[in-house]
Amino acid sequence: MSTLVIVESPTKARTIRNFLPSTYRVEASMGHVRDLPSSAEEIPEAVKGEKWAQLGVNVEADFEPLYVIPKDKKKIVKELKDALKDATELILATDEDREGESISWHLLQILKPKVPIKRMVFHEITREAIRDALTHCRDIDNRVVQAQETRRILDRLVGYTLSPLLWKKIAWGLSAGRVQSVAVRLLVRRERERRAFRQGSYWDLKALLEKGKISFDAKLVTVGNVKVANGSDFDENTGQIIAGRRVLLLNEEQARALLSRIQNKPWTVGNIEERPVTRKPSPPFTTSTLQQEANRKLRLGARETMRIAQSLYERGFITYMRTDSVHLSEQAIEAARSCVQELYGSEYLSPQPRKYTTKSKGAQEAHEAIRPAGSTFRTPQQTGLDGIDFRLYDLIWKRTVASQMADSRQTHVTVLTQVEDAGFRSSGKRIDFPGFLRAYVEGSDDPNAALEDQEVILPALKVGDKPNCKDLGAIGHETQPPARYTEASLVKMLESEGVGRPSTYASIIGTIVDRGYAKLIANALIPTFTAFAVTTLLETHFPDLVDTGFTSRMEQTLDEIATGEAKWLPYLQKFYTGETGLATQVKEQESQIDAKVARTVVLENISAKVCIGKFGAYLESESEEGLVKASIPQDLTPADLDPEQVEFLLKQKMEGPEKLGLHPETGEPIYVLIGSYGPYVQLGDVSETNKKPKRASLPKGTDKDSVTVDMAVSLLTLPRLLGTHPETGAKVQANLGMYGPYVVHDQGKVGKDYRSIKPPDDVLTIELDRALELLSQPKAARGSSKTAKPLKELGAHPESGELINVYDGRYGPYVKHGDINASLAKDESVENFTLQKALDLLAAKEAAGGGKSSSKSKKSTKTAAAKSETAAKKTAEKKTTAAKSETAAKKTTAKKTETAAKKTTAKKTATATTAKKTTK
């Protein structure tokens, strides 16, 4: 007697084997074993001559799908068939969602078993769950299978009908998709809003007040009982105050005049309002909320989040990660409450178990939220996980435990202070009881630090008090365009609009980036000119297919097919072959679509045409000499293309490069040009004997008009050899790369070690000692803004109050204070190293000119009076923190972008000779 159990992945198979008797054999199908053909070579000879064969769906025979076993799955299918020969029972244990049900059904069709068949489902891989699932097996749910098949057919019809049209009219290799195209349109609409945005400016006053030696901020809100304008009062389309708003718009002159008038006048507290606020914890994670929070907290993309979550699930650490449900089982609630009781105490436990219900009608995936697996929750430290696996599990554990914790109780305090006819407002927040915030704060890695950041303490004040004004400044502001979508905000928007399913969002966003519809830069999804062209074509000729409402209703119908409320065949017939069906629309519209028009992107205030070509976007303009075409740099986005840039690119093409001057040594001309990858300098002319002149990119943020001959000469010396490493003898260089300036320790075959160069260090002036110092610092962990844990915490700096720690660097231990790092002597013991020794070492390093300067550039137009020493310190600390976060974000984004670029290149190479496979 033996039982064959089939799951999807080898990892899942290995985990499940541990929980089943030795008579059970567990094998993996490696995902789907059958699908619609992805290329012409997969189409069987018997039907290759049929018109519908390339589509993979026989629309004339009740939309019968053409299923084939991909070449790379034939060996797996054979192995499964061989394993089935020795089995007396077959258990299909694929995932419990639509996709898993479909895989089980396809296995059944291929294997054609003659032994008893069972369908086993579970939402976590633990001994208890597997044993329980064995006793509650069921049959395959044919309605769910039919719904998934309808979804697959529908996606194929949309993709394989519209994509060829895009190839003909815009560019080869483009794809359209039922959900993908809607998502691209959302990105394009936001970029159009940014392009249409008109900036507005306004001024106000900010004061630093003091009462009882406690300082607090106050912001100008009224003058003469009239509200002072702020950013929310501006019309984004005009840059002017919204019509009908009764507000006072201050310019710089008026703000400074008001400041002078009230400078030394007495301040009086006019009103104090305290408002109690209760916050409840968020429900446990669903697929989409996990993707959103992992993006915000861990800087992970949706695909990476799902890959890590899949691994955690298959190894038995968390429950199934594709779910729309926020529900927790009684077992999970008990486990979470036990964690709260043990780790935080009974006062932090919610009085009654919290039970969450899913509001979305379409929620149908797994029946429980994503949570730690098991009847007792292992703390993150008990799992043995490390790196990003640990951090994602930690996120899931905290969110689940916090969901059963007590409410957070806070008091919001608003103080109105009057000086002359000017009214100022101060806002404070007091956390009376942290409740669930002790374990979990959305968007923050460290709950304790987040609690401190959230609390804004005001001094004890009463009406009539007269606080002292320590500082008063006039501050200018400019309104900002709508923020671009991040992966997190796009996922949130798609879910709120009911477009697609959360389990597919990761692959959809991946496809958008891979196909060149968007670039992921600094965590923002920026649509390309190609995305504009495709979206415009679809909006003009197939408006329903990119309408969120239409797509949402389509999703609802697919859900109704799964529950038996709707019939699949009539729906497909109406969608595809009806009078207004997709096939009819494409046939009618194809002849009406002018390819030249389709390849042209219309942008306001741009005289030249923006066209999509074989090698990317380019400008096209008529001149006296004829038609002029000029490539658009790849990093230039549609929202940022302005008339000045257009004029420069066309002028460069017509008149040749702009001559900056002559090289002082060689006498060769130096040019400033803009290429596909941005501005750069070039030494000499292109000729038969000099086909590839020396070139160097400008540092990021450097305006081409600010480049001097001296700067160009210095850039053309890159890469700069700084010297040799004292320990390896290998060369150390400074250079500019795609992601900015860097130093590199090049050990040849052993490998290269890189570190980014950040201001105030300069790639053109950095010396060997500073480069070695940078190379000695540990790299930030992937997806993290923090470096390694300190080897030893020494204590607080007597002046700044910042902690001084000892860290383990690549070349030994070092101490760190702010931006200054100093290596310990080789014979120095970390255990015996003291705070005083660290202070002496850091002082010596600073005196020698080591470390980064902490000086900040002044914003002369922003402030009318000099800030007090206290205020300046606070501002500098905030800026330093922001700079560190930005640095870490850039490093993480650079790594992700590089990885994505490599994957895209590989994919394009592999599929160059085959038909493109369209995804949702």
Mind telling me the catalytic residues? 320
Cβ atoms of 26 and 7 within 8 Å: the answer is yes
| Whether 167 contacts 174, CB under 8 Å | yes
| Residue 83 φ then ψ, to 5° | -65, -35
Answer for the pair 72, 66: CB distance below 8 angstroms, yes or no: no
Q: What is the largest CA-CA distance in the chain?
A: 95
Which ranges in 619-720 belong to alpha helices (H)? 643-655, 709-715
481 contact partners, CB below 8 Å, separation of at least 6: 193, 194, 197, 199, 236, 639
Question: Where do the DSSP E strands lie in 455-517?
Answer: 468-478
Sort 239 into a burial class: Cβ within 10 Å, 0-12 / 13-18 / 19+: middle
Quote the CA–CA distance of 102 and 118 in Å, as a whole number. Answer: 14
Question: What's the rounded Cα separation, in Å, for the pair 443 and 511?
Answer: 26
Residue position matching structure tokens 């993290």: 784
- How many residues are recorded in the chain? 920
Which contacts qualify for 858-864: CB closer than 8 Å, 24 or more apart? 861/252, 861/476, 862/473, 862/474, 862/475, 862/476, 863/473, 863/474, 863/475, 864/255, 864/256, 864/259, 864/473, 864/474
Per-residue H/E/C for 596-617: HHHCEECCCCCCCEEEEECCEE
Helix (H, G, I), strand (E, B) or coil at 771: helix
Residue 575 is given by DSSP the state I
Pairing of strands 24-28, 3-7: parallel
Contact 335, 375 (CB under 8 A): yes
Residue 738 sits at φ, ψ, to 5 deg, of -60, -30
- C-beta atoms surrounding 408 within 10 Å: 22
d(CA 15, CA 591): 56
Q: Which residues, including other chains, have CB under 8 Å from residue 886's CB and lie 6 or more apart?
A: none
Q: What does the H/E/C string look like for 311-328?
A: HHHHCCCECCCCCCCCCC
> In 3D, which of 231, 295, 184 has the Cα closest to residue 920?
184
d(CA 672, CA 660): 6
For residue 121, CA distances in Å to 12, 15, 57, 77, 125 come to: 13, 15, 30, 22, 10
Are 435 and 406 within 8 A, CB to CB? yes
Tell me if 339 sits within 8 A of 401, measured CB to CB: yes
Per-residue DSSP letter, 370: B
Closest to 278 measured CA to CA, from 454, 447, 434: 434
Q: 62: which DSSP letter? A: T
The DSSP output letter for 821 is: E
Q: How far apart are CA 628 and CA 176, in angstroms?
A: 31
Q: Contact 381/395 with Cβ under 8 angstroms?
A: no
Q: What is the phi-psi region of residue 430: left when phi exceeds 0, alpha when psi lies from -120 to 50, beta otherwise?
A: beta
Secondary structure (3-state) at 472: strand
86: its two tokens: 């020795």
Residues 668, 779: Cα–Cα separation, whole Å: 41
Contact at 8 Å (CB) between 415 and 272? yes
Place of tokens 């379409």: 362
